[in-house]
């Protein structure tokens, strides 16, 4: 989420947002106003609330109070962030929040020491509490909506087998088909960059270039180890097998140029293998590019045109180099990358596809189980619903981590 601070133009902030994560920006902004004098009483002192709601988490409430105090402050900081408040409709909500708290404070003063007035004011007090909770939820929702996405035009998705041998490669094929259906359902444009088949069936690797500004938002939580539990068609004894596949999401940022010097590239043309028909397999249309300084190798052989394959391969190489560059400078992204890949073991799974029980379970959230597995992997509707649950839950966790980290740094 981009906030304007003193000395920064909107364009500068937008460019800065292209370089680091939005979560990092929010963390930086949080540090601008942790010590402002509070002009209104603490919410928790006015009334108690249910602890199972995200918005009344003590750290979240402190964050909301700081946000409100910054909004009320007559210091220069108010002017520098007021445009963002208006842009996202937060200022109207903060005005409403301030008014409700004032009403609660007045009501509290009015009924203080008067038992008869306390009974009469209970209904009005409950109404104010509910209104305040609703306003807080709206403010937090606006913030959470800006934590998950990024400034990316394209996303590269890769799916490779983990443990499980042939069954793992069949699972890669299943996941590849599931994601193709999901992308068609979302209406995203995509191109197959690499598709390595194996005999008698399955895929050794699948790579897609997805072109849509919302692709990262919709796919970022697919990264990690996916586990499948089922009885393979070739299993005569009916024994349940467990295999894994690894999904990696690599964003291609806007406005960030990765320069590739011709002297640093080794470009090879060769005959394609796998699907594509006789013409593709008999011409030197496949492209293999080696980036000599880093040793990174990318291939593309999905199109008849050598020129197009070269273009796609260069895009993939740029994304890989960008990711490496970010890993060197941003420990948060580096840790995220490590978590995505893991060691491909069964016990590192983020999600389990259990065909015998006809369910899929995402292990990162409490409401991550969905049934009717065949439809889930076919039509895209179920996967979108699960992604929405993940986005909401993971964004909440991200905000809490940012707030808690900021608190610990200030102690």
* β-pairing verdict for 349-354 and 224-230: parallel
Contact 243, 171 (CB under 8 A): yes
Q: Where are the alpha helices (DSSP H) in 188-302?
A: 215-219, 277-282
Q: How confident is the model at residue 19 (pLDDT cuts 50, 70, 90)?
A: very low
Kindly state the tokens that stand for 74.
């007559």
E strands along 123-185, which residues? Answer: 152-161
Distance CA 59, CA 34 (A): 12
Instruction: Compare 204 and 410 and report the one with higher pLDDT.
Output: 204
Kindly state the tokens that stand for 307.
């020129």
SS3 291: strand
Distance CA 50, CA 61 (A): 13
What is the pLDDT at residue 75? 61
Instruction: Compare 61 and 11 and report the one with higher pLDDT.
Output: 61
CATH topology of domain 155-255+344-399: Alpha-Beta Plaits (3.30.70)
pLDDT tens, position by position, 342-370: 444 555 799 999 999 999 999 999 999 99
H and E: helices and strands count for the chain? 14, 11
What is the pLDDT at residue 92? 85
Among 90-104, 183-197, 335-349, 389-403, the least confident range: 335-349
Distance CA 170, CA 161 (A): 9
pLDDT tens, position by position, 143-152: 776 665 555 7
What is the pLDDT at residue 52? 41
What is the pLDDT at residue 88? 62
Q: Kindly state the DSSP code that residue 38 receives in the 8-state scheme.
A: P
- pTM of the prediction? 0.62
Tell me: pLDDT of 91 over 60. Answer: yes
pLDDT tens, position by position, 101-130: 888 888 887 777 667 777 777 788 888 888
Kindly state the tokens that stand for 171.
């699972």
Contact 67, 116 (CB under 8 A): no
Q: Where are the domains of the chain?
A: 51-71+82-147, 155-255+344-399, 262-331
What is the pLDDT at residue 148? 55
277: how many CB neighbours lie within 10 A of its CB? Answer: 9
Tell me: pLDDT of 277 over 70. Answer: no
List all residues 6 or more positions away from 229 whose beta carbon is below 8 Å from its beta carbon.
240, 241, 242, 352, 353, 354, 355, 356
Distance CA 186, CA 379 (A): 10
Which range, 48-57, 132-141, 164-173, 339-348, is most confident? 164-173
Q: Kindly state the DSSP code that residue 200 receives in the 8-state scheme.
A: S
Kindly state the tokens that stand for 61.
């409430």
What is the pLDDT at residue 139? 82
Among 12-16, 171-175, 238-242, 326-330, the least confident range: 12-16
Tell me: pLDDT of 31 over 70. Answer: no
277: left (phi over 0), alpha (psi -120 to 50) or beta: left
Q: Which of 155, 157, 165 is nearest to 224 (CA)?
A: 157
Q: How confident is the model at residue 394 (pLDDT cuts 50, 70, 90)?
A: confident
Greatest Cα pair distance in the chain: 92
Instruction: Compare 221 and 61 and report the one with higher pLDDT.
Output: 221
What is the pLDDT at residue 57? 72
Contact 160, 205 (CB under 8 A): yes
Provide CATH code, domain 262-331. Answer: 3.30.160.20
Strand partners, 156: 209, 250
């Amino acid at each position: 989420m981009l906030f304007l601070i003193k000395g920064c133009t909107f364009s500068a902030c937008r460019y800065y947002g292209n370089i680091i994560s939005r979560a990092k920006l929010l963390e930086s902004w949080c540090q601008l106003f942790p010590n402002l004098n509070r002009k209104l009483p603490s919410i928790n002192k006015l009334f108690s609330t249910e602890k199972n709601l995200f918005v009344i988490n003590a750290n979240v409430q402190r964050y909301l109070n700081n946000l409100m105090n910054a909004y009320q402050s007559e210091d220069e900081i108010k002017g520098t962030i007021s445009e963002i408040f208006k842009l996202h409709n937060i200022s109207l909500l903060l005005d409403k929040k301030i008014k409700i708290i004032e009403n609660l404070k007045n009501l509290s003063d009015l009924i203080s020491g008067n038992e008869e007035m306390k009974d009469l004011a209970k209904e009005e007090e409950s109404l104010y509490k509910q209104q305040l909770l609703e306003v807080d939820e709206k403010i937090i929702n606006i913030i959470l909506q800006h934590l998950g996405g990024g400034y990316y035009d394209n996303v590269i998705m890769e799916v490779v087998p983990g443990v499980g041998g042939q069954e793992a490669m069949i699972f890669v094929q299943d996941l590849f088909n599931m994601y193709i259906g999901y992308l068609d359902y979302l209406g995203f444009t995509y191109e197959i960059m690499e598709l390595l088949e194996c005999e008698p069936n399955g895929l050794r690797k699948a790579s897609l270039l997805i072109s849509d500004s919302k692709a990262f938002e919709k796919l970022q939580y697919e990264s990690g180890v996916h586990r499948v539990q089922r009885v393979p068609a070739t299993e005569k004894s009916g024994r349940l097998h467990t295999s894994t596949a690894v999904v990696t999401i690599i964003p291609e940022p806007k406005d960030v140029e990765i320069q590739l010097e011709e002297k640093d590239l080794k470009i090879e043309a060769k005959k394609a293998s796998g699907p594509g028909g006789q013409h593709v397999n008999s011409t030197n249309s496949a492209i293999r590019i080696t980036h000599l300084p880093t040793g990174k190798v990318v291939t593309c052989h999905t199109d008849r045109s050598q020129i197009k394959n070269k273009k796609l391969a260069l895009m993939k190489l740029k994304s890989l180099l960008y990711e490496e560059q970010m890993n060197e400078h941003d420990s948060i992204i580096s840790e995220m990358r490590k978590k995505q890949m893991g060691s491909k073991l069964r016990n590192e799974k983020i999600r389990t596809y259990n065909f015998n029980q006809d369910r899929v379970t995402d292990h990162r959230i409490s409401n991550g189980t969905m049934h009717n597995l065949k439809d889930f992997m076919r039509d895209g509707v179920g996967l979108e619903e699960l992604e929405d649950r993940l986005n909401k839950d993971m964004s909440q966790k991200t905000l809490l981590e940012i707030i808690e980290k900021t608190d610990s740094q200030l102690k």
